[in-house]
Amino acid sequence: MLPRFLPLEDGKDSFLRTQSKPLPIRTIKIFLLFLTLAFGVLVLSMYATRYFDVRSAILQPKVSIVHPCAEEENELKQWIKAPLSLMHNMSDEELFWRASLVPLLEKYPYKRVPKVAFMFLTRGPLPLSPLWEKFFQGHEEHYSIYVHSLPGYRPEFASDSVFYQRQIPSQVAEWGKINMIDAERRLLANALLDLSNERFVLLSESCIPLKNFTIIYSYLTKSNHSFVNSFDDPSSLGRGRYNPKMAPEITVSQWRKGAQWFEVDRKLAARLVADTKYYPKFKDFCKPACYVDEHYFPTMLAIETPRLISNRTVTWVDWSRGGAHPATFGRGDVNEEFLKRIIEGQSCLYNGQPSSVCFLFARKFAPSALEPLLNFTSNLLGF
């Protein structure tokens, strides 16, 4: 009879053989299926990663090429667009420096429509604004407006007015003093910030236009000269105001007098704002009874750019009544004969040729003159 139990060693072998039975076919299939799926996911992940990396590499050069162009276009627009608001916190020193940064290339790299900057130097209200509103109507792309008033004045123009939010940061300006020149330079500097402005005309609250906008715009933009009144006055009211301490920058033979109400092109406007040579002399040595607004710009431009100024003004005034100030005209003065006398019968040179159109603006008109002036806009003034 065979033994009932195997030897210990043989029992151990039998146990091992029992535990080493082949796995069921189903388990093997499930395992292989799992491996296949895992391998597929791995291959798909590698392919997707490679695909998107390659696609990014292909698209990236396009982005790097297009994006800088967009940036350059935006940068150009930022340089050429007019300030959204005329109010700012720059000091005069900062403003004049910023305004004196002018392009050296005369050809603009974009379509530029030249504008005329109408700069109103006022104490406060603009009583003749309804007349100017009518004058500007329909010509929005060809003009810009800047108003310098006493710093405490708060205008109340309606939102549809051409004067709405056209106030610039202002300071006190007194007749005959250097702060009047500061105000004029402040107006020029703010207007220079808009690169579209090509001509700059200084006006007061008592000024009126004598022609329609189209005529004035064409007259100014086609002129070869700036309209600055500058002449040698040997009398006590001219050379008699000269201070020898202004030499050597300014000699008595260079001393000039002229009307305060000027019109200049962009080049001369930038010169007036950037001047540091003549301004200190006038600030220190031209004080009442030397009236700086009658001498500073006429003298400086006669020295620096005599061939670029016409030596006449385009703003008519009447000094026939005598006194320190020109005549003021009210309701009773304004009639057809009066306006024709100003508009017609004039003689001057324009671009070297004789012309009967000499004055584009006139002053001084009182608020009471507004109503009769509005009655003559269509048949005499042409707007």
What are the pLDDT digits (tens) for 52-75?
Answer: 444 444 444 444 344 444 444 467
What one-character-per-residue DSSP string does 20-45 give? TPPPPHHHHHHHHHHHHHHHHHHHHH
pLDDT tens readout for residues 150-171: 998 999 999 999 999 999 999 9
The pairing of strands 197-204 and 115-121 is parallel
What is the residue extent of each domain of the chain? Answer: 79-312
Q: Yes or no: is domain 79-312 CATH 3.40.50?
A: no
pLDDT at 50: 56
pLDDT tens readout for residues 303-346: 999 999 999 999 999 988 877 789 999 999 999 999 999 998 89
Confidence of residue 28 (pLDDT cuts 50, 70, 90): low
Alpha helices in 81-104 (DSSP H): 92-99
Confidence of residue 201 (pLDDT cuts 50, 70, 90): very high
Mean pLDDT of 97-112: 88
| DSSP collapsed to 3 states, 185-225 | HHHHHHHHCCCCEEEEEEEECCCEECCCHHHHHHHHHCCCC
- The Cα 243–Cα 247 span in angstroms is 8
Q: Is 90 exceeded by the pLDDT of residue 89?
A: yes
Dmax (CA) of the chain? 161
DSSP structure class, residue 247: T
- Whole-angstrom Cα Rg for the chain: 40
